Amino acid sequence: MSADILIDAEDVQRYYQSGTTVVKALDGITLAIRLGEYLSLMGPSGSGKTTFFNIIGALDVPTGGSVKLGSRELSSLSTAELSYLRCANIGYIFQNYNLVEVFSALRNVTLPMRFLGLTEAEANDKAAKLLERVGLGHRMDHLPGELSGGQQQRVAIARALANDPMLVLADEPTGNLDTNTATSIVELLSELSREKGVTIVSATHDHRMLSVSDRVVYLRDGKVERILNRDELKISVGSIGS
């Protein structure tokens, strides 16, 4: 495997049993994702974007094939090793934000740092800086329920960056947001990607994400349909196609 490859997915399959039929959510996906790359996974609902996202994020296990994060084969890791890997190396951003509703914005951001062993003071200090960076310095003591959707997603972005991960996975990060807020979230992700050199993989329906992507992988029926580099995307006002 090349040194600049962060994720190496080889013939990844994920099958589900639904009654008597087998649903092939992923049907042999092979994809290498480079360090520092901004990659978008596009495709219609049911194409396998979220399933692939979950598998490369060590949140779910494939039925077949292999996934390597750096040099580590995910299937060979124990539950505790996977927890550590998720905590130290991967940041997650979800469509529904998935913030802990009983914790303030600050405490939500400190959570992964505390799991990694930072003291409360260290974690608070770093979380405050991250919240300042995403424009929420003035709302860090608010509960998620007191924040707008866009603000909650900013908290989720700050939380994803808490442990300086090498990989940030964003599953439909703009899916629940209005147009203006979604644009600001896309811009923020793009800026942070450049600033911190972090690899971002985003499962999305949102064509705005294409303009900031280095590569776009189109999935259909659990397979890679095509892969386009940024220079191959035809972006024009009002429509984006290939």
Partner 1 sequence: MALSSLKLRMGRTLLTLLTVAACCAFLLFLLTAPISDDPAERQMWGLMITLSLLVSVAGVLNTMLMSVTQRYREIGTIKCLGALDSFVMLSVMLESALLGLTGAVFGIIGGLVLSTLVGLLEAGAGVFAAAYWTGLWWKVIVAALVGLGLTTLGAAFPAAVAARMPPVEAMRGEK
Size of the site for partner 1 (CB under 8 A): 26
How far apart (Å, rounded) are the C-alpha atoms in residues 173 and 169?
A: 9
**Of 38-46, 53-61, 209-217, 229-237, which segment contacts partner 1 by CB under 8 A?**
53-61
Please answer whether residues 108 and 134 qualify as being in contact, where contact means their C-beta atoms are separated by less than 8 angstroms: no
Considering the complex, state which of residue 41 and residue 99 has its C-beta at the smaller distance from partner 1: 99
Determine, following the binding rule CB under 8 A, whether residue 112 of this chain makes contact with partner 1: yes
> What b-and-e string marks burial along 15-39, b requiring 16 or more CB atoms within 10 Å of the CB?
eeeeeeeeebbbbebebebebbbbb
Q: Report CA 13 to chain centroid distance, whole Å.
A: 20
Query: Could you say whether residue 49 binds partner 1 (CB under 8 A)?
Result: no
In the DSSP assignment, the letter for residue 33 is E
Q: Which of residues 142-181 bind partner 1 (CB under 8 A)?
A: 143, 159
Which listed residue (75, 83, 119, 148) binds partner 1 by CB under 8 A?
83
Among 26, 39, 87, 177, binds partner 1 (CB under 8 A): 87
Cross-strand pairs, 145? none
Stretch that binds partner 1, among 65-73, 94-102, 130-138, 203-211 (CB under 8 A): 94-102
Provide the terminal-to-terminal Cα distance of the chain, rounded to the nearest Å.
Answer: 30
Q: Which stretch binds partner 1 (CB under 8 A): 36-44, 62-70, 86-94, 184-192?
A: 86-94
Pairing of β 234-236 and β 223-229: unpaired
* Stretch near partner 1 under the rule CB under 8 A, chosen from 38-46, 67-75, 109-117, 233-241: 109-117
